[in-house]
Amino acid sequence: MGIYRYTLDATALNTDPIGWDIQKTGYGRAIDSRGVMSFRPEGDLTFIEDGYDYIKAQEDAYGLCHRISLTVEYKEWTGGSFATIFIGEIHMTDLEWDLEFNWVKVAQVRDADYYSVMNSNSGISAVIDVGRSKNDETITAAATTNIDFHSVAGGAHIYPARPSFLIYDVLEFLVAFCSDGTLQFDSSYFGAGGDGEGMILVMGSTIRTGTGAAIQVSWDTLQKELFRKLNVVPVVDDSTSPTTIRMEIESTTYEQTVSTSFTGDEIKGLKRRAIPFSISPNTYNGDRPIGLFTNLKLGSNTTKDTGAYPNVQFKGWNAEEYFIAGDCGSNQTLDLQTDFVVDSNVIEDCLGGTTTYDDQIFMVETDYPTFSRTSRFTVISPGAPPYSYNDGFTNENVALRFLGAIPNSIAAYLGDGADGFQAEKTGTTSSIGGTMDINPADFNDDFTPPNNDPNGNYSNATYRYTAPSNGFYVFRAIVSYSNVVIDPVAYPSFDSTVTIRRYDSGGTLLDSRVDVVTVSSDRTLTYSPSGFYCNATDYVDVRIQGSTNGPGPGVASWDCDQAFFLTTALSNSGGIWQTFDPTTFRGYYYQFQAPMSFADYIAMISYPTRYDAIFVNRGGSPDDITGWLVSVQFDLGTNTATIELATT
């Protein structure tokens, strides 16, 4: 044990409070966000003597709508300086008074910053261009940025100067609003140079008329909408003064370099379980589930199928539901559907004068700060109209942001799939002089099961698949190599390149996807799926190439002895829309006890914006464990820690 020091606001107490098991202190993922870490003390706390007097004087002066800061510091008997083990706040409404014996019990000491300040006010909607906080303190209003909107048909930015709000500015305002200006905001994602720097919020009426309209939104609503489209989470950075609330991509909140290590001999009581469907109240929240998902919801709740952009399955913004392949024994849904409007056709409708969406909030990608204009995307025919909005918010691109959260492939079957096909290359092609070029690849068998072409959309003569109707198509190629001979010095490997190409009916190349894999031995390569929007009569084929790597001179050769070309999903019938390897998803929670010094505990919880990476050496792979801190409960009396890790 050691010495504790308690401070209320700036007043150090002479008499320690009682009743709180301060011997055990903890740190872990917060209730309301996977991105926030918070202290978790155990039990309640009772103040007597000068602590009682101070709290009573504060209530007499300010009433029930007031809070007092609490700082707890600790120093070991053996020496050293005091280290802060808890910073929190006491709300007057959480007090229970004993007026006979003059003590006051705090039923809940709230973590400072996020829980005491942000979370308690996070559901209050604020008008973001009014410079007043929740308690009428003067703060900086969110400024407008004029953005030119473009014509979907022609691409020109002919709708000038729509007063809009950069998402960074909105987040900064809401942090100030909820905290009365006592906290600050920053974000490497939404800030200068970040991928989200140019993202804006704007009202439908502003898009339609060009006249500015106020946006009213709460912190809760905004962070939920941003998470569901961008996988960003709030992070408390208490290394700054004042404390900074950040909004960052979730993957960046995990420390990649191991910060703390244990050996197998040190740890006791090691337990493992699969990422559960609902875990302890300290780590689980309905909006941010941590678990094995068997269902996935994507899209926006306000969309329009008619317009210049064909809002097709997976490639648009429609509210859609998919299942996750495999049998995980759960029914948990990852719900990424949003209320903010992102559909390109709806934006087009607003610009055309429709008033239906005047009162709705839109989220739009722009070229700001390079240009104060909306971003244009030519998905259907690259470089040609229509020029859509918000390609980054299509269901396909949103799903890609959540790869680490999805344990298996995304699927949805909407029909019998008869327009799909699978064709096989049955002949052998050999490399010549260290190169290979099969152009187009001769997939000559679409009739021997499991190869198939029910509706005759593939040609064994031209090796092309011709789209039977307008829609989104997902293709993939599988290539096998045998008799690979390499020179480990001159040519240690070769690059296998597969290009899937889309042409119009006249033979003009419209789009292509290139995937390269390095090969050094006999193997079968399953290339990444490639999705295209195809007009009816567009056709798709494959080119297979190979070239050696190395300084030479020497000998390298190989055979391409089998390959497949197939559709995995079509917008008119469904299928596998994104393929994830289930063996790469190992969602486990580990718990164990280990000896730990007070100094090491302080170091473990000193990563202000990232989860600590922890390694347990159990004698080598596959028994070693690497994961990220979920929680640590530290016993100051015995210098032992109970640690919980997550591997995903």
At CA 586, angle to CA 273 and CA 230, rounded to 5? 110
Distance from CA of residue 337 to its chain's centroid?
Answer: 14
Closest CA to 303 of 252, 343, 352, 258: 343
Claim to verify: residue 616 and residue 568 sit in the same structural domain: no
Claim to verify: residue 460 and residue 561 sit in the same structural domain: yes
Q: Assign residue 627 the CATH number of its domain.
A: 2.40.30
Helices (H) and strands (E) in the chain, counts: 8, 42
Tokens for 517?
């894999």
Higher pLDDT, 621 or 329: 621
Question: Between the CA atoms of 74, 76, 82 and 84, what dihedral angle is there, to the nearest 10 degrees?
Answer: -40
At residue 605 the predicted structure's pLDDT band, cuts being 50, 70 and 90, is: confident
Instruction: State which of 48, 78, 112 marks the end of a domain.
Output: 112
Q: Quick one: pLDDT at residue 273? A: 81
Q: Quick one: pLDDT at residue 256? A: 74
Q: Report, as an integer, the average pLDDT of 253-262.
A: 80
CB count in 10 Å sphere of residue 631: 20
Q: Quick one: pLDDT at residue 280? A: 34
Claim to verify: residue 485 and residue 609 sit in the same structural domain: no
Q: Report, as an integer, the average pLDDT of 231-243.
A: 83
Closest CA to 500 of 537, 536, 469, 463: 463
Q: Report, as an integer, the average pLDDT of 76-92.
A: 82
Has residue 7 got a pLDDT over 60? yes
Claim to verify: residue 566 and residue 589 sit in the same structural domain: no
Q: Quick one: pLDDT at residue 400? A: 83
Distance CA 481, CA 561 (A): 6
Tokens for 564?
């497949």
Look at residue 212 and tell me if it is in a domain: no
Q: Quick one: pLDDT at residue 43? A: 57
The pTM for the full model equals 0.79
Higher pLDDT, 122 or 269: 269
Q: Quick one: pLDDT at residue 334? A: 80
Has residue 628 got a pLDDT over 70? yes
Closest CA to 176 of 125, 145, 202, 138: 138
Closest CA to 317 of 293, 343, 292: 343
Q: Are strands 410-413 and 45-48 parallel, antiparallel or unpaired?
A: unpaired
Q: Assign residue 565 the CATH number of its domain.
A: 2.60.120.40
Has residue 25 got a pLDDT over 80? no
| Residue 519 CA: distances (Å) to CA of 9, 187, 334, 494, 543 | 64, 41, 37, 5, 17
At residue 382 the predicted structure's pLDDT band, cuts being 50, 70 and 90, is: confident
At residue 282 the predicted structure's pLDDT band, cuts being 50, 70 and 90, is: very low
CB count in 10 Å sphere of residue 550: 17
DSSP 222: H
Has residue 207 got a pLDDT over 80? yes
At CA 9, angle to CA 7 and CA 12, rounded to 5? 30
Claim to verify: residue 452 and residue 549 sit in the same structural domain: yes
Claim to verify: residue 451 and residue 559 sit in the same structural domain: yes
Instruction: State which of 572, 598, 622 marks the end of a domain.
Output: 572
Higher pLDDT, 459 or 620: 459
Claim to verify: residue 451 and residue 527 sit in the same structural domain: yes
Residues 6+ apart with CB under 8 A from 633: 24, 25, 26, 40, 641, 642, 643
Tokens for 367?
């070229």
The answer to whether the beta carbons of residues 29 and 37 sit under 8 Å apart is yes
Look at residue 51 and tell me if it is in a domain: yes
Claim to verify: residue 523 and residue 634 sit in the same structural domain: no
Look at residue 314 and tell me if it is in a domain: no
Claim to verify: residue 502 and residue 601 sit in the same structural domain: no
Tokens for 432?
């010549």
Instruction: State which of 572, 592, 616 marks the end of a domain.
Output: 572
The percent of the chain in helix, strand and coil, each rounded to the nearest 5, is: 15, 40, 45
The answer to whether the beta carbons of residues 133 and 142 sit under 8 Å apart is no
Look at residue 616 and tell me if it is in a domain: yes
Closest CA to 407 of 568, 587, 589: 587
Q: Quick one: pLDDT at residue 303? A: 95
Directed axis angle between helix 167-179 and helix 219-230, to 10°? 140
Has residue 608 got a pLDDT over 70? no
**Start-to-end Cα distance in the chain:** 35
The answer to whether the beta carbons of residues 476 and 526 sit under 8 Å apart is yes
Among 98-112, 123-137, 334-348, the range scoring the smallest mean pLDDT is 98-112
Claim to verify: residue 611 and residue 503 sit in the same structural domain: no
Distance from CA of residue 264 to its chain's centroid?
Answer: 33
Residues 6+ apart with CB under 8 A from 40: 25, 26, 27, 28, 111, 282, 631, 633
DSSP 376: -
Strand-pairing partners, residue 465, are: 458, 540
Tokens for 607?
């990563």
Tokens for 606?
């000193």
Q: Quick one: pLDDT at residue 558? A: 96
In the chain, the percentage of residues whose pLDDT exceeds 70 is 86
Higher pLDDT, 425 or 529: 425
Among 104-108, 125-129, 211-215, 559-563, the range scoring the smallest mean pLDDT is 104-108
Q: Report, as an integer, the average pLDDT of 288-315.
A: 79
Among 91-100, 111-120, 180-189, 613-622, the range scoring the smallest mean pLDDT is 111-120
Has residue 192 got a pLDDT over 50? yes
Look at residue 222 and tell me if it is in a domain: no
Max mean pLDDT among 265-274, 399-408, 485-494 falls in 485-494
Look at residue 479 and tell me if it is in a domain: yes
- Residue-wise pLDDT for 344-362, tens only, equals 999 999 999 999 999 999 9
Claim to verify: residue 564 and residue 610 sit in the same structural domain: no
Q: Report, as an integer, the average pLDDT of 623-628.
A: 86
Closest CA to 404 of 251, 506, 614: 251
Q: Which domain holds residue 461?
A: 422-572
Has residue 279 got a pLDDT over 60? no
Claim to verify: residue 429 and residue 548 sit in the same structural domain: yes
- Return the residue matching tokens 């996020």: 114
Distance CA 2, CA 76 (A): 4
Q: Quick one: pLDDT at residue 403? A: 66
Provide φ and ψ at 115, rounded to 5°: -75, -45
Distance CA 590, CA 300 (A): 36
Q: Quick one: pLDDT at residue 583? A: 52
- When the pLDDT of each residue in the chain is averaged and rounded to a whole number, the result is 86
Q: Quick one: pLDDT at residue 289? A: 41
Q: Are strands 530-534 and 574-578 parallel, antiparallel or unpaired?
A: unpaired
- Residue-wise pLDDT for 111-121, tens only, equals 665 666 777 78
H helix or E strand, kind and range, residue 395: helix 395-400
At residue 327 the predicted structure's pLDDT band, cuts being 50, 70 and 90, is: low
- Residue-wise pLDDT for 524-551, tens only, equals 998 888 888 898 999 999 999 999 999 9
- Number of domain units in the chain: 3
DSSP string, 542-556: EEEEEEEESS--S--
- Residue-wise pLDDT for 398-409, tens only, equals 988 876 555 557
Look at residue 441 and tell me if it is in a domain: yes
Look at residue 152 and tell me if it is in a domain: no
